[in-house]
Amino acid sequence: MVIAKNIVKTFKLSRQQKREMGDGFQGNTIDAVCNISFTCQPGRVFALLGPNGAGKTTALRMIATMLKPTSGSISVAEYDTVAQSQAVRENLGFLTGNTGLYDRLTPNEMVRYFADLHGMNSADYNTRRDHLFALLDMEAFANRRIGKLSTGMKQKVSIVRTIIHDPEVIVFDEPTAGLDVVTSRNIVHLIRDCRNVGKTVIFSTHRMGEVSLLSDDLAIIHKGQLQFNGTLEDFQNQMQTPTLEDEFIRIVEDE
Amino acid sequence: MKPILTIFKKEFKDITRDRRSMMMMFIIPMLLFPLLFTIATVFTTRQTQKVRTKTLVVALITHGNAEAFREILLKRDDLKIREDIAEDIIPQFIQSDSIDAAIRFDEQFDAQIADLRRGQIHLYFKSSRDMDASRNRLTTLIRDYENQIVNDRFQRLALDRMIVDPVQVRRHDIASQRERIGKSVGGFLPYIFVLMCFMGCMYPALDLGAGEKERATLETLLVAPVSKIQILLGKCGVIVLSGFASIANSFIGFFIAIMLQREIVARILDALQGMFEISSILLVLSLCLPLTIFFAAALMSVSIFAKSFKEAQSIMAPLNIIIIIPVFIGFLPGIELNVITSLIPVLNVSLASKEIFAGTIKLPLLFEVYASLTKWFERESTIFRET
């Protein structure tokens, strides 16, 4: 379970960033996330929705302990992200669309590296590795250098790297951005599989199609503020426009 | 400890698959000395040989004086004498390379010599050409001629030449061949070792810090259950190894270079080989280890601080020049290892290495160098913790 309570993230701006904000901007800081709260339940998929620059990635990075909230608190699998960051990371898998892989390693070496960092023993690793490699049909390229793999193959390696330690909470930050249809479908299947085995799944996106396909709960975030937080069903019930996409645009533009 | 080892092993594997890092670790350090030595020896030998055997074209204006000297010059195979050039155009002829040098005697030369007075000979030459060969060769001939005149005079006056040479100085240099060579070559070696150490650390530091940031792999590592200090220590271990391997390979390269030199005189070769005793090498390597750790920590901090590979490179390039300054100071005459210089990083390693190779290192100063380097490393590790 992930519980975010009144989280705020304020960034100090450099001179160049202030210039880029335009003449109308006053002050030295910007609130990327302003006082947002939400809960993601095990066995459910939570979608974090918002246009580019809304604060989705900042919120997810706080969940993943990469950023500390300026105020408020987040608990992941009952561990506090600031006070117990290491325990949080032990129970977390984090995948971004932009996930970097080590080009000079092979998929086998890459996955083994992260398994070792998570302290997995050889027996558990071998069982889990064999299961995931077979599931994603990865054996054929398991010993080829990652730098020589296709985008789809690389994405599979990223997926296995993210879930090799069987984390309780899995975070996907715009996982399908820039990917082809086949690879995107792999991700969608993975998210569903994770939900079906009782994992807490959070994913951020700006594609409404993915939301209706996958999510149980959703939050809409715009300019760092929470615009909606509830179940997909609630959202559909209170829509003022015919489609999810139109409703999303209406909420964002009204702001 | 285990996560540090895991990161170290992975980074080591990664770096050994990077051609650029391997070049900096093995190829360049091993080839640099043999290449430098070979180029220097071949060019110097060729140039010296060329200058020694070259036939000099010399203009001679005697005004009918010094007939004996003229005959000596005319008989020589390595000189081509021209007596058709006027006195006022000699500089232009030398400048335009039509002649190499000119010798002009004063009109009263013979009369002055006969009167036991001083006669004047003018030697024209261009010192910037051919390693000043014209002046050297002609000065030797003139000196022989002068000696002949002096001997004639002593004979004429029935005097012993010892009258003008009352003191004879006999020099007894108690410095051993190894000490003399060690002080000169030993001063040059740290320059290469320090530079190699820095370069050996630089590429892995760039790749493992800013490079990871740019490839977005650092983000995935930061989500793993390891602390930032463990990540940095694991990475730094590989950078230290790379820098240290560069130094060790420089030693091997230097040894190969000496072995390949056939032109080196046997006694100099013996002294050079003496410098490379196992104990000297181990002592210098042990000094280089804290220096490598210092470089690794400093470069890793820069690399992590930089937003991109390019930015890290632009910060590290001037550092390259900065670290040369203390090494260069170690070259300067009069700069010795003492209680103050042994506290200055890089300079202390440079000076201590020089003393070790010369076999004149004083133990208290060596310990001071170790203490100083350790202290500096501790300061850098403070930067680590804040990263």
What DSSP line would sit under A142-201, residue for residue?
A: TTS-GGGS-HHHHHHHHHHHHHTT--SEEEEESTTTT--HHHHHHHHHHHHHHHHTT-EE
Q: And the tokens for A71?
A: 């105020």
Cβ-based contacts under 8 A for chains A and B: 61
At B210-240, the pLDDT tens digits run: 888 888 888 888 889 998 888 888 998 999 9
Beta-bridge mates of residue A71? A8
Domain assignment present for residue A124? The answer is no
B234 Cα to chain A: minimum distance (Å): 12
Question: By a Cβ cutoff of 8 Å, what residues of chain A touch chain B?
Answer: 64-66, 86-87, 89-90, 92, 94, 96, 98-105, 109, 113-114, 116-119, 161
pTM for the predicted model, two decimal places: 0.75
Rounded mean pLDDT of chain A?
Answer: 87
What CATH number does the domain containing B127 carry?
Answer: 3.40.1710.10
Domain assignment present for residue A119? The answer is no
Domain assignment present for residue A96? The answer is no
Check residue B320 and give its pLDDT. Answer: 79
Select the residue of B2, B14, B216 nearest A105 (Cβ to Cβ): B14
Domain assignment present for residue A202? The answer is yes
Domain assignment present for residue B67? The answer is yes
Domain assignment present for residue B155? The answer is yes
Give me the sheet containing A92-96, strands edge to edge.
A92-96, A169-173, A200-205, A45-49, A217-222, A225-231
Q: Report, in angstroms and rounded to the nearest whole number, the Rg of chain B calculated over CA atoms.
A: 31
Q: A209: domain range? A: 2-91+167-254
Check residue B227 and give its pLDDT. Answer: 86
What CATH number does the domain containing A242 carry?
Answer: 3.40.50.300
> Chain B partners of A164 at a C-beta cutoff of 8 Å?
none
Q: How far apart are CA A216 and CA A135, in angstroms?
A: 25
At A117-172, the pLDDT tens digits run: 999 999 999 999 999 998 888 899 999 999 999 888 888 898 899 999 999 999 98
| Number of domains within chain B | 2
Please give the single-letter amino acid code of residue B85: I
**pLDDT higher than 60, residue B100:** yes
**pLDDT higher than 50, residue B386:** no
Q: Are residues B357 and B245 in the same domain?
A: yes
**pLDDT higher than 50, residue B244:** yes
Q: Which of A198, A176, A200 is nearest to A187 (CA)?
A: A176
Check residue A99 and give its pLDDT. Answer: 66
**pLDDT higher than 60, residue B385:** no
Contacts of residue B166, defined as CB under 8 A and 6 or more positions apart, other chains included, come to none
B207 touches B24 (CB < 8 A):
no
Question: Mutating which of B4, B10, B203, B228 best tests the A interface, going by the most A Cβ atoms within 10 A?
Answer: B10
Check residue B184 and give its pLDDT. Answer: 66
A116 touches B226 (CB < 8 A):
no
Record: contact A113-B223, CB cut-off 8 A: no
Confidence band (pLDDT; 50, 70, 90) for B387?
Answer: very low
A25 Cα to chain B: minimum distance (Å): 25
**pLDDT higher than 50, residue B280:** yes
Q: Are residues B70 and B138 in the same domain?
A: yes
Domain assignment present for residue B169? The answer is no
Check residue A135 and give its pLDDT. Answer: 83
Confidence band (pLDDT; 50, 70, 90) for B271?
Answer: low
Record: contact B6-A103, CB cut-off 8 A: no
Q: What is the mean pLDDT of residues B111-123?
A: 91
Record: contact A109-B13, CB cut-off 8 A: yes
Q: If residue A220 lies in a helix (H) or strand (E), which one and from where to where?
A: strand A217-222
What secondary structure letter does DSSP report for B260? H
Distances (CA, A) of A201 to A93, B278, B363: 10, 61, 64
Q: Are residues B251 and B374 in the same domain?
A: yes
Record: contact A64-B223, CB cut-off 8 A: yes
Domain assignment present for residue B48? The answer is no
Check residue B304 and give its pLDDT. Answer: 81
Check residue B292 and give its pLDDT. Answer: 84
Check residue A254 and give its pLDDT. Answer: 67
Nearest CA in chain A to B3: A117
What secondary structure letter does DSSP report for B306? S
Q: Which of B191, B264, B205 is nearest to B32 (CA)?
A: B191
Q: Which residues of B270-298 are buried (b: 16+ CB within 10 A; e: fewer)?
A: ebbebbeeeebbebbeebbbbbbbbbbbb
Q: And the tokens for B161?
A: 């030449």
Q: First vs last Cα of chain B: how many Å apart?
A: 19
Place of tokens 């918002």: A50
> Chain B partners of A106 at a C-beta cutoff of 8 Å?
none
**pLDDT higher than 50, residue B380:** no
Domain assignment present for residue A98? The answer is no
Contacts of residue A105, defined as CB under 8 A and 6 or more positions apart, other chains included, come to A113, A145, A146, B10, B13, B14
Domain assignment present for residue A171? The answer is yes
Q: Are residues B263 and B381 in the same domain?
A: yes
Q: B107: domain range? A: 55-161
Q: Report mean pLDDT in 10-residue bins for chain A, 255 residues.
A: 91 78 77 90 91 86 90 93 92 81 93 94 94 88 93 87 92 78 79 90 83 88 89 87 84 72
Question: Mutating which of A68, A91, A102, A160 best tests the B interface, going by the most B Cβ atoms within 10 A?
Answer: A102
Q: Are residues B298 and B202 in the same domain?
A: yes
At B299-342, the pLDDT tens digits run: 887 888 887 888 888 888 888 778 778 777 777 777 888 888 88
